[in-house]
Structure 1
Amino acid sequence: MKRTYFLLLLLVLNLAVQSCSDDQFSSLTKGGGAPGPVRDVRVENLPGAVKLSYVLPADENLLYVKAVYRLKSGEVESKASYLTDNITLEGFGDESEREVTLYAVSRSEKESAPVTVTIKPLTAPVFTVYQSLTAQETFGGIVVNFENTSADTKRVNSNMVIGVLTWDDSLGEWKQIDTHYSGLAKDQFAVRGLESRPYKFGIFIRDRWDNHSDTLKTTLKPVYEEEISKARWRDVRGLYPVPQTGVLPVSGNHMVEAVDYSTAYPIKNLWDGNVSNFFHTKTSFELPVWIPFDLGEPVKLSRYKIWQRPVSGIYFSHGNPHEWEIWGTNTPQDPASWVQLAHEIMVKPSGLPVGQNSADDRTVAAAGMEYDFRPDAPPVRYLAWKHIDNWASIQGEYGFLHMNELSLWGQLGQ
């Protein structure tokens, strides 16, 4: 029996060696001629793109349809499987007429006769987004708003890069100070860390095919702010009444204060200046829960930044905050004195499902995500994070919170 097994093993190894010596880059099949061409091509012009629909040739050896066309970068090819009867081509930076050549390709990589069609793409998203750009001064910088109508349809790639420049008088040239990535239909971002003096700004749009808009130029003066020191922040859970801001949806009880998961993840990790440590509450709280703390002095708050915990390297998941409110007061002993300063729902830049992150998602989350307080919010000494839900339990009735760091900006002595 052992001898028979050994001979069989030698035979298998010999066949494997012969197989490895064959040309691994040969066609799927060596037989068959070129397929017939596609026919009845229909053109649907889209923003910066075109959708071509066609009738496939009746050929069992057909593998894909290839489109050859020119972009700013030169001649490119796109392919569509034989399982579909259309192909969408993207990346066109102008509305001029041009030709696209289609080939049906067999499993042996033999091409049909070419079929050429004329297309005329609509205005590329970079230019329509540029037309919607607005910018205004805010605390420590500027806020940029824009709309991307192409993102509503999801029929073309709508991801954009928005670059912000400032003019450097000493060098006599523009320098880039910020970059924002977005595929949203309507978005806003802030450029911060600037002095309260006039700046000449330039804002432009770029897409993944390196199509550029013009540059919007404007002069704005950021409003003064400073980062609030965390040296005097302290935990005040258990010291004051919980505000009576409604009842919990399941039990009908009032909100409770969230307590720490363990001594390993205390609330002080939220303001220790280390974005690698994290604060973690106990799990299975009925939501929302209340997390108050003391800043040590009244502050007119302008904005804040939060850093998520990357669970197994994944952001926008698990106990990271999804929806929340921030409340403030100067008299925490009076439950009725608390006022709402902010309400946010975190949006993932890519829009991908929970558990899937794009490179932009990771970049944005790792840098910390920034939000504004209400401009009419009063100066307050005491803050409370009202945790409404997390990414693992969106609109859920039970959940928990973890977060790596919280930073605040504003004006002291107000």
Structure 2
Amino acid sequence: MMKQLIGILVSMCLVLLACEENEHGPLISDGTIPSVIENVVVTPTNGGLDISYDLPSNNGDLLYVKAVYTDSKGREAEVKTSAYDNEIKILGFSDTAEKSVKLYSVDRSENHSEPITVTGTPLTPPVFLVQESMEITADFGGARFTWDNTLKTPITIELMTTNEIGDLATVETIYTEQEASRSSLRGYESSPRLFAAVIRDRYDNFSDTIYADTSDQLLTPLFEVRLDKTKFQKVILDNDDNWDAWEGDYWNCFDDDLTTIVHTQGDHPRPSIMTVDLGVVVTLSRFNVIQRSPENARHFAFTHGNPKTYTVYGAKELPGQDGNLDDWIKLRDCESIKPSGSPIGTNTDEDMDHFDAGDEYTFDEPVEIRYFRFAVHSTWDGAGYIDFSEMTFWGNIVE
């Protein structure tokens, strides 16, 4: 009995092994070479080639079409497209030299047709289009980098400046596929220094090192200091909202603690206004608003009662207790922007990097102020209440 049982088990194992081998091998096995594709058209694209074609008329067991070519690193590469498609996209070239591509029809027995060789010349690779658009200019406390990425290509941008021993080093790395973007390196003294950038794509193609368009490639950061929040004074005007509601407190906005928040009740007509005495007369260079809250509530990113649109005002002397905004100097309109533009509840890595860094706004006109007003018009999810974590200012102190 035992021998019969062992025999049955051995037979079952052999059957299973045979099935497994069949699953990994061609379903059909023959030696017939498939027909070649027809009417091939090559269209140059930025950094690549689009190749369209007609499938063979007798393509009953055609499995896929394969393109074989040499990539920009000198390696053999291939791209496959199923028998239900009639186009192959080749991407990732780093130059505009003519490329040669061999095209094969491949059937379910993995038989390859005779190759068809086509040529094409890619257009300027996206990484170099972005390079051509990039500008590096002086900014408050550092340098501003602006660029266009009209093709919305996923790219990495390394922002660089000199380190303590004078070598060019990467300070920040940005991952983006947005159409137009900007970023700044800050925290530097107002003396000439070198700033630069290098752009890379997913195929490991690099731009040249990009420098400021000055005679010596150096930039002098615009002077600014971070305002001392211990000098701030609370101001409450007649049309200000109450920012101490729920778990919020007015001073949480200026405590440099991202785990605390300000919070309104939600029953005040818009705009909801906060007023602060900065303690000094200053021409502001920029300010930053941190949403609630990168450290203890990241699920609130770009939603909840975080400010979406707001206007900021300033005055050197308090115009009046009634808080009439017509008596204040309008400094600028502001809008919190999610880089990806994705719906509420969906956040990319780039979105979260922006969330952590805060919504930052610069001031182009040098206006001397001491009193600052923050007037919120809308929130990210339409909530009637408003909450956020922190507000910080930089500028040139006058007195």
> Which band: TM-score by shorter chain?
0.7 to 0.9
Aligned to 2:6: none
**Alpha-carbon distance between aligned partners in 2 of 1:260 and 1:22, rounded to the nearest angstrom:** 70
CA displacement, residues 303-346 of structure 1 (integer Å, 9 cap, x when unaligned)? 12232336664733343333322222231525233222232333
Equivalent position of 1:306 in the other structure: 289
Q: Residues 18-68 of structure 1: CA distance to partner in whole angstroms, max 9, x if unpaired?
A: 979963993486236676544322222122222222223464655554433
Amino acid at match of 2:118: V
2:398 aligned with 1:413, yes or no?
A: yes
AA aligned opposite 1:315 = A
> Could you say which residue in structure 2 is the equivalent of 1:322?
308
What is the rounded CA distance, in whole Å, between the counterparts of 1:378 and 1:235 in structure 2?
A: 21
Name the SS of the counterpart of 1:130 in structure 2. helix
Match of 1:363, SS? Answer: helix
The residue identity in structure 2 corresponding to 1:404 is S
CA positional deviation for 1:81: 4.5
Superposed CA offset, 1:376-404 (max 9, x none): 242322222222333334xxxx6443323
Q: Once the 2 structures are TM-superposed, how far is the Cα of residue 221 of structure 1 from its aligned partner?
A: 0.9
Matched AA of 2:361: Y
- Residue number among 337, 345, 352 corresponding to 1:355 in the alignment: 345
Mapped partners of 1:391, 1:19: distance in 2: 58
Greater Rg over alpha carbons, structure? 2
Tell me the distance in 1 between the aligned counterparts of 2:118 and 2:336.
44
Taking only aligned residues, the RMSD between alpha carbons, in angstroms, comes to: 3.4
Mean Cα deviation higher: 352-361 or 297-306 = 352-361
Deviation of residue 140 (structure 1)?
A: 0.6
- Take 1:347 and 1:24, find their aligned partners in 2: how far apart are those partners? 54
Letter in 2 for 1:350: S
Matches of 1:67 and 1:287 in 2, distance apart?
60
Structure 1 residues 192 and 171: CA distance shift in structure 2, 3 A:
closer
Corresponding residue number in structure 1 for 2:151: 150
Q: Distance in 2 between matches of 1:111 and 1:286?
A: 72
CA distance in 2, matches of 1:48, 1:60: 34
Deviates more, 1:275-284 or 1:298-307: 275-284
| Cα offset, 1:127, TM superposition | 1.6
Aligned match of 1:6: none
Equivalent in 244, 249, 252 of residue 266 of structure 1: 249
The count of aligned residue pairs is 371
1:366 to 1:45, Cα distance in 2 relative to 1, 3 A: same
Q: Is the 8 A contact 1:314 1:356 kept in 2?
A: no
Residues 381 and 358 of structure 1: CA distance in aligned 2, closer, same or farther (over 3 Å): same
The structural deviation recorded for 1:352 is 3.4
Q: Which residue of 183, 193, 196 corresponds with 2:187?
A: 193
Q: Partners of 2:300 and 2:107 in 1: how far apart?
A: 41
Q: Give me the whole-angstrom Cα distance separating, in 1, the residues matched to 2:261 and 2:54.
A: 57
Alignment of 1:1-400 (within 5 A): 23=20, 26-27=23-24, 30-31=27-28, 36-57=35-56, 59=59, 62=62, 64-73=64-73, 74-105=75-106, 112-151=113-152, 158-167=153-162, 171=165, 173-217=167-211, 218-236=217-235, 239-242=236-239, 257=241, 259=243, 262=246, 264-283=247-266, 287-309=270-292, 313=299, 315-329=301-315, 330-333=317-320, 335=324, 336-373=326-363, 375-393=364-382, 399-400=384-385
Contact 1:27 / 1:107 at 8 angstroms: preserved in 2?
no
Q: Scaled by the length of structure 1, what TM-score is found?
A: 0.76
Q: Distance in 1 between matches of 2:114 and 2:270?
A: 64
Cα contact 2:241–2:264 (8 A) shared by 1: no
Give the superposition deviation at 1:122: 0.5
Identity %: 32
Q: Report the CA distance between 1:133 and its aligned residue.
A: 2.4
Q: Is the 8 A contact 1:341 1:377 kept in 2?
A: no
Question: What's the CA shift string for 1:144-194, capped at 9, x where partnerless?
Answer: 22223334xxxxxx23333233345x7463222233344333332221100
SS at match of 1:222: coil
